Amino acid sequence: MGTKDVSLQDAIAGFRIIEPLVRLQSKFANNNIAYEKSSLLYGRMYFPGSALEAMIIKRLNENTQLLIKCVNNPHLQKNGTMIVYLQNNTAKYSREFIYSTNESLFGLRCLYNLGTPSSSILKPHVIPKFDNSVVSIGTELWFAANSMSPGLSSALRYSTRSTSTGKPLTMTLAINPILGHISSTYTVKTSVASTFCSKYDFNFFSYASNLSIGFELYSYANKKHTFPSFVNHEVYSSSEENKYLKEHPEHKKAHRVPIRAYKHKDNRTIINPIQNLDNVYHINPSLLPSTNPTPTTTGETVTTAFQNLVKESDFSSVLKFSTSLNDKVVKILWEGRLRDFLVSTGVKISLNPITNTPEFNKLGISFSYAL
């Protein structure tokens, strides 16, 4: 797949929706694709300089791969370095062993998803509410043999989704006890085409701190394209009630929505939109629209529907903006399509400490093309 056909969300670095452990385990368990020991070769040369990069990836088994990177640059010690990664990834945990010829560096990275959900056998529309959240802990250990220097950092990540809108949000907390550095982030996808992020850094040795904020805003390829909605997605949530309240604001004061009763299979009459009083969403099917959804949208949860809207959206470009209070620097990056090319251009603007006027520090542009 070349740059002409690849999705813009997959081609650039940006916010990624973290799926609940139940769905991850289902993907690993239902993967019936025959395993192949595939390989990838990659190389890049910089002009007019003399820097050269090479990479090879070899799949060892279904969950393990070997990655080797080589960099040749006259500015590096011994004119180059080589890094070896042995990666193992499953739905429950991820491990990575690293070795670099630079300083004879050894490293270990681990990520573990907490929880042992027993609801993987449930249908998607009755996944318990707590299964929309993912709590992960991670750590990395480093040791430079040449300089006898250790390194250690740990992090905690909490990711969840709104049960009414399906919008994901992620919070992280990372700490480096050796350097005394603490970093916390909060990221939320405010809509299908926008994401907001904030980051706070603090050092308990020097008491230095910094607050950074940023956002990314996507634009659609078709200018006449309207923003996606849940109209074509049958969702098992209270979105239909919210839609009814918007169309009939006179019912907002009473905080009630007219509910049509229906007969249960055991002749029980249920008038509550939440059919059962357990920890699982069971929405009255009579409240759902009487449409005939396509097989691809039948039985979607509101979180799955939102994720599918993001994947199905045809974006042409994305604008990224970031700034921080301490550095007084503004960074703007634009990435998008220009015919069959992927174009990335950005600028870094800072405030002159003497004249207090903005000045351009860096300006760059890159073109990418692949068949």
What is the per-residue pLDDT across 219-228, written as a single tens digit (0 to 9) for each? 988 755 444 4
Residue 367 near residue 343, CB atoms below 8 Å: yes
What's the rounded Cα separation, in Å, for the pair 143 and 368? 36
Q: Of all helices (H) and strands (E), which one includes residue 195?
A: strand 194-203
Residue 64 near residue 87, CB atoms below 8 Å: yes
Residue 271 near residue 259, CB atoms below 8 Å: yes
Confidence of residue 285 (pLDDT cuts 50, 70, 90): low
Q: What is the pLDDT of residues 137-151, one digit of tens each?
A: 999 999 999 999 999
Supply 237's token pair. Answer: 């949530």
Report pLDDT for 116: 61
Report pLDDT for 236: 41
Q: Is residue 47 part of a domain?
A: no
Q: What is the pLDDT of residues 94-130, one digit of tens each?
A: 999 999 998 899 999 999 998 765 444 445 444 455 5
User: End-to-end alpha-carbon separation of the chain, Å?
Assistant: 7
Report pLDDT for 112: 94
Arithmetic mean of pLDDT, 48-63: 90
Q: Is residue 277 part of a domain?
A: yes
Could you tell me the residue range of the domain that residue 263 belongs to?
239-287
What's the rounded Cα separation, in Å, for the pair 72 and 100? 14
What's the rounded Cα separation, in Å, for the pair 360 and 358? 7
Confidence of residue 273 (pLDDT cuts 50, 70, 90): very low
Q: What percent of the chain has pLDDT over 90?
A: 37
Arithmetic mean of pLDDT, 20-26: 58
Among the ranges 63-67, 287-291, 294-298, which has the highest mean pLDDT value? 63-67
Among the ranges 30-34, 37-41, 272-276, which has the highest mean pLDDT value? 37-41
Q: What are phi and psi of 334, to 5 degrees?
A: -120, 130
Q: How far is CA 275 from CA 139, 257, 354, in A?
A: 43, 15, 67
CA dihedral over 96, 101, 102, 106, signed as positive or negative = positive
Supply 285's token pair. Answer: 């099917």
Q: Is residue 363 part of a domain?
A: no
Q: Is residue 272 part of a domain?
A: yes
Bridge partners of residue 95, in order along the sequence? 88, 110
Confidence of residue 37 (pLDDT cuts 50, 70, 90): confident
Q: Of all helices (H) and strands (E), which one includes residue 87?
A: strand 80-89
Residue 359 near residue 350, CB atoms below 8 Å: yes
Q: Is residue 100 part of a domain?
A: no
Supply 48's token pair. Answer: 């007019």
What's the rounded Cα separation, in Å, for the pair 127 and 133? 11
Report pLDDT for 266: 52
Of residues 17 and 282, more confidently modeled: 17
Q: Which residues of 125-138 are buried (b: 16+ CB within 10 A; e: fewer)?
A: bbbbeebbebebeb
What's the rounded Cα separation, in Å, for the pair 124 and 159? 18
Report pLDDT for 270: 44
Total number of domains constituting the chain: 1
What's the rounded Cα separation, in Å, for the pair 243 and 249? 10
Q: Is residue 160 part of a domain?
A: no
Residue 235 pLDDT exceeds 80 = no
The set of residues, in sequence order, having a beta carbon less than 8 Å from that of 259 and lying 6+ positions away, is: 271, 272, 273, 284, 287
Q: Is residue 251 part of a domain?
A: yes
Q: Which residues of 186-222 are buried (b: 16+ CB within 10 A; e: fewer)?
A: ebbbebbbebbbebebbeeeeeeeeebebebebebee
Q: What is the pLDDT of residues 317-354, one digit of tens each?
A: 999 999 998 888 999 999 998 888 899 999 999 988 88
Of residues 154 and 36, more confidently modeled: 154
Q: What is the pLDDT of residues 155-212, one digit of tens each?
A: 999 998 887 788 899 999 999 999 999 999 999 999 888 999 999 999 999 999 999 9
Q: What is the pTM of this model?
A: 0.70
Poorest-pLDDT segment among 13-22, 205-214, 274-283: 274-283
Contacts 24+ apart (CB under 8 A), 47-56: 50/74
What's the rounded Cα separation, in Å, for the pair 348 and 362? 5
Residue 229 pLDDT exceeds 60 = no
What's the rounded Cα separation, in Å, for the pair 178 and 144? 15
Closest CA to 241 of 252, 229, 227, 228: 252
What's the rounded Cα separation, in Å, for the pair 22 and 30? 12
The dihedral over CA atoms of 268, 274, 277, 279, expressed in degrees to the nearest 10, equals: 140
Q: Is residue 248 part of a domain?
A: yes
Residue 216 near residue 320, CB atoms below 8 Å: yes
